[in-house]
Structure 1
């Protein structure tokens, strides 16, 4: 009896993890005969799990939505509460649990009866979250679950995409993974028209079914997709790039710098390297200073000159400030740049506060 129960749980897990299985595939995974698979499927149906079967060589088994909620140890009210909570966590991109929420939500909504789906939809539609700031980009949970299913089942996705300039284009891609940051969701996919990997902001995606057909999964563009997306949205997307050494441990920098603002690599126990991008070097100067961390520029050399030019403009502004300038730091704003170490690319290093140390 214990062996049968364990096998039923394994069968249920397989049906939740993939859209459709043939009887032969399930038999091979479970180490039983196709006849035993048919019996186990009947047992699941008897317990209330809606397992659909399609005949023929291309047929198989898949978990569908039923008239009654399967025995998940949740009553109707609890199931609605869980679904709404998962939608909230997924749609607002809560850091650390967003991707897990989408996977759980996809499994739950797959078997949620229609009457409960309508209740969840109504609660979501008429609930207004108080977001933490303008940078956050809520995403429709229905879109997230649709994309998650297509990634899972390796089906082509057709959608309209709104670019940063507002222009809308039609795209056809092979979706691979969803990546969540603190503020946004991104889809990593192979763009069939551009014959290359692309990263799309999910809040700009409007699916346009029908989707499909299925495709053989490709080798992903990187082993660490979170780092790949971070580099893409913080560096590759911009015209100006920079590499800066932050004179604090990486753990301290991570607490101050979002993955969407740059990638961080450890550089010994007391420093780390930030790779980032901006529209131009003047913007880069402000971007780096706003981290509030001591730093030194590694590249490009032009960023050094941009920092010097910004310092001179600030010196001039203070000099024009009359008597108040003495009150705010003396004759030169350079005294305030004690956290900025700017290399002299002709040799040595220049520090406004430490005289070259």
Structure 2
């Protein structure tokens, strides 16, 4: 009987798992015949499944054989650690855009993963929030290290660029947040004694300590990070009252460009930042809705000055007078 090596070990083990899910008990010779391999190869493949965390039991005696434990009614799924984590990261990052579909996929992933991987993925899921789907890929192992630190409430450290040089940061990690562009960590900065958000793709030499901290009263993670990305990182911040439903305005603005808060059914507050106030003012103007400047006061003065300039530009030009 051929050993079946030409089929590839992964494909064969996946087929074996599928067979175990089809029927409650299989004998070794039955599996060997179905797979086209020797009983010895079946035993090795059973050990591979066990090493991955699938509970395959061997029963002796009459009517005995191999039996798959909990989850045998589910579709087969073979993922190594990196693949499972990367899949969960993708689903979590896209959950804001895909909605129920991504959440259903996460639930199915959770059900079919071995216990060892299930705990890791749940650690990530419980430590992630979002205000849009992240697009820039980051190291899944780095995300998992931060997710575990959030879950276990242990201090973390990492090197982070600041003013052109790398500096070691010590933090109490709280949540991972996915934006439409990047992943961020919301954490309490122990050296600066305040909440901070950090871009995960800019971190290096990440490590977690065993020292546990007492959780502090934390801000809303997604809101804090979004407002920071949209306004606090810029030298100028502006706040507007826009007379349009929040859902409509959110569709017109990138989540990383502005934070939109609902103010009733027909109005919303928009918080944004820019390197100069004229830029953010024109951005809101081009949305096409009526709006009011709330902050800063000088932006209101600037808008009136620009309005006068626009009126002058649109005034009719008198015809040239004749010379004779």
Q: TM-score category by the smaller chain?
A: 0.5 to 0.7
> What is the match of residue 143 of structure 2?
144
Deviation at 1:142, TM superposition (A): 1.8
The whole-number CA distance in structure 1 between the counterparts of 2:272 and 2:201 is 23
> What is the match of residue 35 of structure 2?
none
Q: Name which one, 1 or 2, has greater alpha-carbon Rg.
A: 2
Deviation at 1:295, TM superposition (A): 1.7
Post-superposition Cα deviations, 1:42-100, rounded to whole Å, max 9, x if no partner, equal xxxxxx9xxxxxxxxxxxxxxxxx7233245464546787555334445xx32527997
CA contact under 8 A between 2:53 and 2:114: conserved in structure 1?
no
1:229 equivalent to 2:243? Answer: no
Higher RCO (C-alpha under 8 Å, 6+ residues apart)? 2
Post-superposition Cα deviations, 1:139-160, rounded to whole Å, max 9, x if no partner, equal 2222111111111011211111
The whole-number CA distance in structure 1 between the counterparts of 2:212 and 2:151 is 11
1:264 equivalent to 2:260? Answer: yes
* 1:205-224 → structure 2 map (5 Å cutoff): 205-209=203-207, 211-222=208-219, 224=220
Which segments of 5 or more consecutive residues in structure 1 lack a partner in the other structure?
Answer: 1-47, 49-65, 113-134, 319-328, 333-357
- Give the number of aligned pairs: 231
The whole-number CA distance in structure 1 between the counterparts of 2:169 and 2:136 is 21
TM-score by length of 2: 0.58
2:282 to 258, 282, 286: 286
> What is the match of residue 251 of structure 1?
247
Deviation at 1:202, TM superposition (A): 1.3
Q: What SS is found at the alignment partner of 1:208?
A: strand
2:116 to 108, 111, 117: 111
CA contact under 8 A between 1:266 and 1:272: conserved in structure 2?
yes
The whole-number CA distance in structure 1 between the counterparts of 2:307 and 2:78 is 61
| RMSD after superposition | 3.8
The whole-number CA distance in structure 2 between the counterparts of 1:251 and 1:159 is 37
* 1:1-357 → structure 2 map (5 Å cutoff): 67-71=51-55, 72=71, 73=74, 75=76, 77=78, 84-89=86-91, 93-96=93-96, 111-112=116-117, 136-163=135-162, 166-209=164-207, 211-222=208-219, 224-311=220-307, 331=316
Q: Which has the higher strand share?
A: 2
The whole-number CA distance in structure 2 between the counterparts of 1:102 and 1:232 is 29
TM-score by length of 1: 0.54
